[in-house]
Amino acid sequence: GLDNTLEENLNLIHLAHKYNLNRIFTSFHIPETDISHFQQDLQTILKLTQKYNMEVICDVSPNTLALLNLDTLNIQELSTLGITTRRLDFGYSAEQIAKLSHQNIKLQFNASTITQEFLDELNHYQTDFQHIDALHNFYPREGTGLNVKKLQQQNELLHKYNISVGAFIPSYNKARSPIKKGLPTLEIHRYQTASLAMRHLKLLGIDSIFIGDSLPTEDEIQELANLTDEYI
């Protein structure tokens, strides 16, 4: 429902599978999304990700369930669609999240906004943190991305609870509309190469790296697949 054709998106998934990359993030909160195309394309895309046994992360909120033609957050229906990890951006209490964490599903937090107080509250309700990870936001507008200190503070906070943390790097092969300024987590990575940004995130202790923009090159995908702790 955005810049890429269905064929481009499917080819991108084939390419990711070729290099053993198996985590995909999609957002239901982008105002520019063409809803009719989104609903048509999503089913085809999710069939392919299921075939490749990929993890599909999406931000499901009470406001976006309508896009999936669901009345409620039905865990079984989402799993049947092929959505394996639910990013709970807003609209859910600590008590609700605690209950969901015991249903043997994967949940994801917004790593950029999580607080000590909320983690304490989740602890109070006996949340199973083994079923939870976290992913930082991407920031389309210049000047809005995180600084390194903020990223490290959030990572340290989440790692205390053994929560793995992901972040985004930009790609300018086909920067996402309408702003086309890249989709990095760190502002310092805007206009940097994907190669430099991914190695920097690795150095900063990020556990999982996502390419934010619409259509990365095969070279960028291959370099991400080959990234190791030993080579930075």
Q: What are 109-122's pLDDT values in tens digits?
A: 999 999 999 999 99
Q: Is 104 a member of any domain?
A: yes
**Mean pLDDT of the residues in the chain:** 90
Residue with tokens 């202790």: 205
Q: Is 231 a member of any domain?
A: no
Q: Is 1 a member of any domain?
A: no
pTM score of the predicted model: 0.93
CB burial readout 126-153, b (16+ within 10 A) else e: ebeeebbbbbbbbbbeeeebbeeeebee
Expressed as residue numbers, the domain containing 203 is 6-226
Q: In this model, does residue 62 exceed pLDDT 70?
A: no
Give dist(CA 194, CA 227) in Å, integer. Answer: 12
Per-residue pLDDT band for 167 (boundaries 50, 70, 90) equals very high
Q: Is 20 a member of any domain?
A: yes
72 CB-near residues (< 8 Å, 6+ apart) = 65
Q: What is the mean pLDDT of residues 129-151?
A: 96
Q: What are 68-100's pLDDT values in tens digits?
A: 777 776 777 778 888 899 888 667 899 999 998
Task: Enter the tokens of residue 20.
Answer: 């053993």
Q: Is 232 a member of any domain?
A: no
Q: In this model, does residue 105 exceed pLDDT 90?
A: no
Q: Which residue has the higher pLDDT, 31 or 153?
A: 153
Q: Is 87 a member of any domain?
A: yes
Task: Give the chain's domain count.
Answer: 1
Give dist(CA 46, CA 56) in Å, integer. Answer: 8
Task: Enter the tokens of residue 88.
Answer: 């709970």
Q: Is 98 a member of any domain?
A: yes
What CATH number is given to the structural domain containing 32?
A: 3.20.20.70
- C-alpha distances out from residue 144 to 177, 190, 211, 224, Å: 17, 10, 18, 25
